[in-house]
Amino acid sequence: MDHVRISKLLALALRHEPTALGLSLDARGWASVDDVLRGLGDRGLTISEEELEQVVAASDKQRFALSADGARIRANQGHSVRVDLGLSPAVPPEVLFHGTTTRFGDSIREGGLVAGARTHVHLSADEATARTVALRRRGPHVILRVRAGDLHRTGALFYQSENGVWLTDAVPPTHLVWP
């Protein structure tokens, strides 16, 4: 079983393009496991429910979640399609981190961190995780400190996804600390 290929297809379908696997996401981003298995099979990746559970469990960033009854699956965050993950606002730590490449430096210094095509900006609770994220991108990287506590006190909302990623709409440049 090709875990990487399956994981990439799941990320595409559950975060950005449900039609890639012939799926329909509900308002909270859930898709039927049966439909996912059928969609994967249509692409030559026939797997069982147990193998799908292995892919979900082995996801390095814990990108996916299965419902308690195992009948549905969704991405934990990173959507470009509108879904309501049902996350409640949470008080973030004083400092969060964001890993990116240096080529985006000028844009970030001018406009801050923006969600772009995604629904939220993704932030890490620790520098090591942010570095791991940055290293997956092409080019030299930089780890930014986000003054999340200060930003939260201005009224910005923060959410924490099931896999620990912190989410917010945007981070203005005034709340970023460069190395």
Break the chain into its structural domains and give their ranges.
3-75, 96-177
Confidence (pLDDT) at 137: 82
Please state which CATH number belongs to domain 96-177. Answer: 3.20.170.30
The CATH classification number of 3-75 equals 1.10.10.970
Q: What are phi and psi of 145, to 5 degrees?
A: -90, 135
116 has a pLDDT exceeding 90: no
Q: Lowest-pLDDT range, 70-74, 78-82, 129-133?
A: 78-82
Band (pLDDT 50/70/90 cuts) for residue 167 is: very high
Q: Are strands 170-171 and 72-75 parallel, antiparallel or unpaired?
A: unpaired
| Structure tokens belonging to residue 78 | 């990173």
d(CA 76, CA 65): 6
Measuring CA to CA, which residue among 62, 36, 64, 60 is closest to residue 49? Answer: 36
